Structure 1
């Protein structure tokens, strides 16, 4: 104990006695930097390369190895211009390199963007070894409202020929504490791997001669996340763009938080999700993410939407009745290159399962509705998810706390069908009283079939001959939560039977850019995805679409 006390006071004495090498360090007016932004709360690691020229009042920041380039040119036009060059994919063009431009205004002029914080107000607090480099440590604390932000800069110095010193950045960190929340609300840091304060060639800030920039609507301060994402990480502190986006979100989705505490909590969740969405879009993954109704949800709340359970062993289904030879013949004779059962009227509108882990009931009912459509001459009948939520507990399902499709099939086999939504009543988004005995049942099934696992052609044949198919997937990644459009492929996705946590409906398939995809209907409302749908890559059985597909027989 004595030793710890001695060490504590010795540290205080050392820090107070430490003399900074430079009293008020000032960054070079011109520099080139390479580094990485790390945001733990948003689970992001994003590389960048930046050029800053304070003399010519120009800056450029590239993200993900130049996948997206941003320019801040203060001397262009009357109030400067902000430019973004990025690959854009439309129905007609794939990854077309496009130049987008926002013009500054008198109220919001464009200025060059630093990637090094303004060090005015920072105090030198000692030395520290960072990644094997001896650095000086500077800190600055800023308070506003309920928030206390602590900024730390680690730097070293290079001696100049005139005897002066040039500061070289090593690491910059921000930790934000919200006294209302009683916890840290933000944390990010930038690691600087390369620094050079030599003059920068003017060509660095020039857009290619053969490229015409297209105007982007709205003032520049409303496009921080897309045109200048670095701004929010640098001092002086700025978060007007967060307020703007959060107000838009609350208005669109009718969010009214009961307390100031809840409002602050949801805003900070939204902030991190917004960063995640735009960072992943800059990475050009082949699909886009978007701000949807889930953007203020915690990880736990998102997990609650994924209610697919797992039971090992045989589920009681029949084997896929087509041999490998049958499948090969079908590929040549009857299987279309692409198929969308929505076009034939076999799919009911997308619903919102709400705050209920009932995804399993939607995948199940979708498969039954499709089979019933084929059975009764193309007449689509809306069947009741709520009946399965309320009534199939005896077969191992747990209502809003999760379930499995085969257990719902077993309940139907015993009871002789399922109620229509019109007779049973609307979906409630919660567990309810079972009253299936008081209504008539339709869509009687004779059994269910397990499609051959991890077989693209088998699943295509099943969809083509038997309609929409109930499938389980790994939906645990935030890229899935905020998917908007494009061909979804998530390298981190799992596909083992015990690694799938969400049940959905495969309503078709097709080919995009040479890649086979599954057209999948989700149950998170039309605000999610592309009007409630997603194109999921079939490559490597990504996310497990081909692991446990089932359909019913009638």
Structure 2
């Protein structure tokens, strides 16, 4: 705790902590009534300061460090995020309407983490000026005292009602020094009967009357270009803190309207619309915060941006059996001496069918199964067929699959071998995204299997050989992380991703592999539509078998 010497014994530290607590409790009991009783002016802050802290977005599961350099008299400011991985500059002293810069690492299909600078000139309707990290306290009134992070604090508050929404803004300042400690927004929607928003700014350092060195408010020796993609999201990409300090939310409404139009979203009543807009708000905050973190990949808004965590979970329908599923072992020794290419992509050879959307059905296992069979059939015959996922969903219950509630590739292989083959989508009918009536007896099987192979678990070299020689491979991954839901491009690496058999909850198709800027990846086809990822694909990092791509791969043997 602040103020404690590391040289003290454990007993002395505990006693000192208890003394601080007693002092704080005494302060609250004796000072609370006095603070409320006497009218005082709300706290104000220096027009020139340096500050640090954390932006906390509980609903988006984000804790983002920031550093602020504010020079109000000269109309300039700079805010760094994630310890300088992203820097934003607000210059009201340049030009008629100011200029905003952003320096960040850019990741695209062809480059990975390239340091880049973007600038946008202000306009008469949208000028740029310095960005403070503290709220305008004009309408705040003192409502009591609290203990925040061990500090006795005055509690100041403003409540704003707008229709069904009530927004409560609370600022805590240290009672002795009047330094800012915390700023919190809590939003309640009477239409939904619940809290719709919450964010917190925790201030860990505040140095007023700061004199700044030359050059701190310029991007440095880097060429700046126009910002890619104009639009409503400039508020949160060029100056993210505007949303949280000045309560600017117009961009969310504009982006949500564009999102609804693009993806033909319709909601049955006013309550659902409000709920979806709130989910959308938290998801875009999550996406933009993660994009400021200098990750080796980028995220973007896609058709999933209005879905809750429980709805996103429905997309993951891979059910891993703990017992040995059967199948033949992969004999890597038979490929000894064979020259395996450093990069491979089965799409270039015509072995991969177009990306589909599994929709609100946990049928990913059927897409992984049909994808690897389509590829293996192409390798053998040079013909590409579109096989029926719906047939597997409707008909393979007897082998242990559960339709839209999950399944496994090997159970599908077993059903296909038992039934005598799998048919095409043209014969069986289109994919429905629901459990339907089995029509296997009414169609002709087109592809027969004689068995299937389990690629050696955790052996990435074996998986590369299998992809290059056998065709696209069905793999299971841990897809339980929101970062994957909004992946756009770059090499996806999620430190929290599991790679044990019990971690795998989503089936996908590994169609290739390669390296981007020295980072080895698996080229993976998903079944979340072409709106997701890079036209429906993701580059999954091979580092530490991230997300378990090499944990449980399989491929079929065409009869």
2:538 corresponds to 1:534: yes
**Deviation of residue 245 (structure 1)?**
1.1
3-state SS in 2 of match to 1:446: strand
2:393 corresponds to 1:375: no
Q: Which residue of 1 aligns with 2:144?
A: 126
Q: Which residue of 2 aligns with 1:115?
A: 133
Q: Deviations 1:347-400 (Å, cap 9, x if unpaired)?
A: 000000011110000000001111111122x11011100000000001110111
Task: Return the match for 2:185 from 174, 192, 213.
Answer: 174
2:263 corresponds to 1:246: no
CA distance in 2, matches of 1:217, 1:451: 43
**Deviation of residue 15 (structure 1)?**
4.3
Q: Closer, same or farther in 2 for the Cα pair 1:202/1:55, shift >3 Å? A: farther
2:336 corresponds to 1:319: no
Q: Which residue of 2 aligns with 1:271?
A: 281
Q: Which residue of 1 aligns with 2:79?
A: 61
Q: Which residue of 2 aligns with 1:151?
A: 169
Question: Any unmatched runs of 5+ in structure 1?
Answer: 1-10, 160-166
Note the 1:353-364 alignment, pairs <5 A: 353-364=358-369
CA distance in 2, matches of 1:300, 1:86: 32
3-state SS in 2 of match to 1:177: strand
Which of 511-520 and 281-290 deviates more?
A: 511-520
Q: Which residue of 1 aligns with 2:64?
A: 46
Which of 256-265 and 149-158 deviates more?
A: 149-158
2:104 corresponds to 1:86: yes
Question: Any unmatched runs of 5+ in structure 2?
Answer: 1-27
**Deviation of residue 200 (structure 1)?**
2.9
CA distance in 1, matches of 2:452, 2:89: 58
Contact 1:85 1:100 in 2 (8 A): yes
Contact 1:58 1:205 in 2 (8 A): no
Q: Which residue of 2 aligns with 1:101?
A: 119
**Deviation of residue 259 (structure 1)?**
1.1
Q: Which residue of 2 aligns with 1:214?
A: 225
Q: Which residue of 1 aligns with 2:424?
A: 420
**Deviation of residue 92 (structure 1)?**
5.9
Q: Deviations 1:292-315 (Å, cap 9, x if unpaired)?
A: 000000111100010001211110
Q: Deviations 1:20-52 (Å, cap 9, x if unpaired)?
A: 695332111111100000111000010000011
Length-normalised TM-score, structure 2: 0.91
Contact 1:102 1:219 in 2 (8 A): no
Contact 1:108 1:221 in 2 (8 A): no
**Deviation of residue 402 (structure 1)?**
0.6
2:355 corresponds to 1:350: yes
Task: Return the match for 1:70 from 85, 88, 101.
Answer: 88
Q: Closer, same or farther in 2 for the Cα pair 1:92/1:537, shift >3 Å? A: closer
Q: Which residue of 2 aligns with 1:435?
A: 439
3-state SS in 2 of match to 1:278: helix
2:55 corresponds to 1:37: yes
CA distance in 2, matches of 1:536, 1:50: 35
**Deviation of residue 220 (structure 1)?**
8.2
Contact 2:111 2:516 in 1 (8 A): no
CA distance in 1, matches of 2:109, 2:304: 27
Contact 1:61 1:71 in 2 (8 A): yes
Contact 1:108 1:219 in 2 (8 A): no
Note the 1:455-466 alignment, pairs <5 A: 455-466=459-470
CA distance in 1, matches of 2:458, 2:326: 19
**Deviation of residue 316 (structure 1)?**
1.4
Contact 2:111 2:517 in 1 (8 A): no
2:40 corresponds to 1:18: no
CA distance in 1, matches of 2:529, 2:111: 29
Contact 1:16 1:125 in 2 (8 A): no
Aligned length: 530
Contact 2:497 2:547 in 1 (8 A): yes
Q: Which residue of 1 aligns with 2:9?
A: none
CA distance in 1, matches of 2:112, 2:193: 47
Task: Return the match for 2:317 from 283, 291, 307.
Answer: 307
CA distance in 2, matches of 1:89, 1:304: 29
3-state SS in 1 of match to 2:214: helix
Q: Closer, same or farther in 2 for the Cα pair 1:220/1:375, shift >3 Å? A: closer
**RMSD between aligned alpha carbons?**
1.9
Contact 2:287 2:300 in 1 (8 A): yes
Contact 2:112 2:297 in 1 (8 A): no
CA distance in 1, matches of 2:111, 2:354: 30
**Deviation of residue 210 (structure 1)?**
3.3
